[in-house]
Amino acid sequence: MLPGIAIRTKLRHMLIARTLPDLRAASARLRRHADALAFVPTMGALHAGHRALVRAGIASGAATVASIFVNPLQFAPTEDLARYPRDEAGDLAVLEAEGCALAWLPDVATMYPVGEATTITVAGPAEQWEGDARPGHFRGVATVCAKLFGQVRPDRAYFGEKDWQQLQVVRRMTADLLLPLEIIGVETVRETDGLAMSSRNRFLSATERAVAPALIEALRTAAARLAAGEAAAGVLAMARAALGTRGFDVDYLALVDPATLMPLGNLVPGARLIAAAMLSHVRLLDNIRAI
Ligand code: PAF
Q: What is the pLDDT of residues 237-290, one digit of tens each?
A: 999 999 999 999 999 999 999 999 999 999 999 999 999 999 999 999 999 999
Mark whether 179 and 208 lie in a shared domain. no
Residues with a CB atom less than 6 Å from ligand 1: 41-43, 71, 74, 141, 144-145, 163, 166
Residue at 194 is within a domain: no
Tell whether the model's pLDDT for residue 11 goes beyond 90: no
State the Cα–Cα distance between residues 235 and 221, nearest whole angstrom: 9
Mark whether 107 and 153 lie in a shared domain. yes
Kindly state the average pLDDT of the residues 222-226.
98
Mark whether 221 and 122 lie in a shared domain. no
pLDDT per position as a tens digit, 117-133: 999 999 999 999 999 99
Mark whether 111 and 247 lie in a shared domain. no
State the Cα–Cα distance between residues 24 and 36, nearest whole angstrom: 15
The residue range of the domain holding 32 is 3-186
CATH number at residue 243: 3.30.1300.10
Structurally, the chain folds into a number of domains equal to 2
Tell me which of 46, 53, 141 to substitute to probe ligand 1's pocket, judged by most ligand atoms within 8 Å of the beta carbon: 141
Residue at 65 is within a domain: yes
Mark whether 40 and 174 lie in a shared domain. yes
Average pLDDT score over the chain: 96
Residue at 222 is within a domain: yes
From the candidates 33, 50, 137, 281, give the one annotated as an active-site residue. 50
**The domain boundary residue, chosen from 128, 163, 186:** 186
pLDDT per position as a tens digit, 28-48: 999 999 999 999 999 999 999
Is 259 in contact with 125 (CB distance < 8 Å)?
yes
Q: Ligand 1 centroid to 189 CA: how many Å?
A: 16
- Find, among 184, 187, 156, the residue nearest to 38 by Cα: 156
Mark whether 120 and 88 lie in a shared domain. yes
**The domain boundary residue, chosen from 186, 215, 230:** 186
Mark whether 221 and 265 lie in a shared domain. yes
- Concerning whether 50 is annotated as a catalytic residue, the answer is yes
Tell whether the model's pLDDT for residue 12 goes beyond 90: no
Mark whether 130 and 213 lie in a shared domain. no
Mark whether 246 and 181 lie in a shared domain. no
Q: What are phi and psi of 186, to 5 degrees?
A: -120, 135
Tell me which of 53, 68, 73, 74 to substitute to probe ligand 1's pocket, judged by most ligand atoms within 8 Å of the beta carbon: 74
Mark whether 110 and 156 lie in a shared domain. yes
Mark whether 118 and 80 lie in a shared domain. yes
How many residues would you count in the chain? 291
**The domain boundary residue, chosen from 186, 208, 237:** 186
Q: Ligand 1 centroid to 290 CA: how many Å?
A: 25
Q: Please report the atom of ligand 1 found closest to the CA of residue 71.
A: 10
Kindly state the average pLDDT of the residues 178-206.
97
Mark whether 150 and 214 lie in a shared domain. no
Please give the model's pTM, rounded to 2 decimal places. 0.96
CATH number at residue 115: 3.40.50.620
In the DSSP assignment, the letter for residue 122 is: -
